[in-house]
């Protein structure tokens, strides 16, 4: 895993890891009229195009895991945790709307 939020390597990791979790290619890739799977529509593609929304949730979950991973070394330096899905009613973070990623002191009560 690289130390940047998103680059070509990260994007390849996203597709590979998501497919390994059993997600169907149709949920991640555009399918051309000649039955090829593409991550993006080429500028010169002349066939019928559709807008793919299904991978947004997968990208969000993957990105949250990456941010948690990237923030944890900094959090360690200041004696804190980096965690996904934090619920804290004082900040309006509920089960229906938890924090994507949050950091808090290791000595804090949870």
Measure CA 13 to chain center: 11
Report helix angle 8-20 to 55-77, nearest 10.
Answer: 110
Take residue 98 and report the two structure tokens written for it.
Answer: 């938890």
φ, ψ of residue 72 in degrees (nearest 5) = -60, -40
Per-residue pLDDT of 55-103, as tens digits, reads 999 999 999 999 999 999 999 999 998 999 999 999 999 999 999 998 8
With a threshold of 0.85, does the pTM exceed it? no
Q: What percent of the chain has pLDDT over 90?
A: 66
Q: What is the DSSP string of 63-86?
A: HHHHHHHHHHHHHHHTTEEEEEEE
Containing 99, the helix (H) or strand (E) segment is: strand 99-105
What's the CA gap between 88 and 73, in Å, rounded? 23
As a whole number, mean pLDDT of residues 15-38 equals: 93
What's the CA gap between 75 and 81, in Å, rounded? 5
């Amino acid at each position: 895993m690289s130390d940047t939020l998103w680059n070509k390597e990260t994007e390849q990791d996203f597709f590979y890891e998501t497919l390994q979790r059993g997600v169907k290619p149709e949920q991640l890739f555009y399918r051309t009229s000649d039955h090829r799977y593409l991550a993006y529509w080429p500028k010169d593609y002349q066939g019928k195009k559709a807008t793919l929304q299904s991978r947004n949730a997968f990208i969000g979950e993957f990105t949250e895991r990456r941010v948690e991973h990237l923030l944890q070394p900094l959090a360690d330096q200041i004696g804190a945790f980096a965690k996904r899905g934090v619920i804290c009613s004082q900040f309006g973070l509920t089960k229906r709307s938890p924090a994507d990623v949050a950091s808090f002191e290791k000595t804090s009560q949870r």
